Amino acid sequence: MREIVLSTDNINKLREIREILEDLDIKIYGKSDIEGLDFEVIEDGDTLYDNALKKVSAMAERVDFAVLADDTGLFVKALNGEPGVHSARYASEHDDKKNREKLLNNLKDKEDRSAYFKTEIILIDEDKNIIPIEGVCTGKISLEERGDNGFGYDSIFIPDGFDKTFAEMSHEEKNQISHRSRALKNLRDKISNL
Ligand code: IMP
């Protein structure tokens, strides 16, 4: 069985990634499951790619496993792409509720509510090959929060083709179409050949 360490201990992300890759014979660890990975990376890159590369490189230096990092942003057209790479700390560091409130407030008078999520995933395999891949999910920002089945900006994002937010969907439904699942599905062939 292959083993991959993720650059996160976010239980929602770990769950999503495990669900999407569950048919592959891969054991997926969170960062805190592996000794020696108890370090902080300052995510101050200008792009999702820069941040993902920082996180994954710091791990690859310390372990011989394959390592995978993802960095995600929500890009809102009427706000010139904000919060984008600053999504985690838009209003306040890792306070999802405040971040959502700030976004809804900034969009109050805007007609165009279109937005997209983008996930940048970088895998560094056991031979230290760097494999980057992206996934995008387009949609719009809802007028108010709806649903409680998600995390981050899920309760204010309505993907194209639906009239409910990610937080009103089952995990399976979100995993069919989400930015992260699209990136991971693109990566699956490569992972299965590790
Ligand atoms: P990170 O780069 O994955 O740490 O995420 C950046 C920001 O986007 C954080 O505020 C997360 O809560 C949020 N985020 C990441 N993935 C998702 C998602 O799938 N749905 C909603 N929000 C997300």
What is the Cα gyration radius of the chain? Answer: 17
Other beta carbons less than 10 A from residue 113's beta carbon? 17
CA of 104 to the centre of ligand 1 (A): 16
pLDDT value of position 111: 96
The yes-or-no answer on residue 160 being catalytic is no
* Ligand 1 contact, 87 CB (< 6 A): yes
Q: Do residues 145 and 155 lie in contact, with contact meaning Cβ atoms separated by under 8 Å?
A: yes
pLDDT tens for 159-194 read: 999 999 999 999 999 999 999 999 988 888 776 665
* Percent of the chain residues past pLDDT 70, beyond the cut: 96
**Residue 92 and residue 111: Cα distance in Å, rounded?**
26
pTM of the entire predicted model: 0.92
Residue nearest to atom 16 of ligand 1 (CA): 72
Closest CA relative to residue 63, chosen from 25, 19, 24, 33: 33
Closest CA relative to residue 22, chosen from 32, 11, 10, 14: 14
With a 6 Å cutoff on the Cβ, whether 155 touches ligand 1 is no
Work out the average pLDDT over 132-150.
96
Residue 137 to residue 159: CA distance in whole angstroms: 7
Environment class of residue 188 by beta-carbon count within 10 Å: exposed (0-12), middle (13-18) or buried (19+)? middle
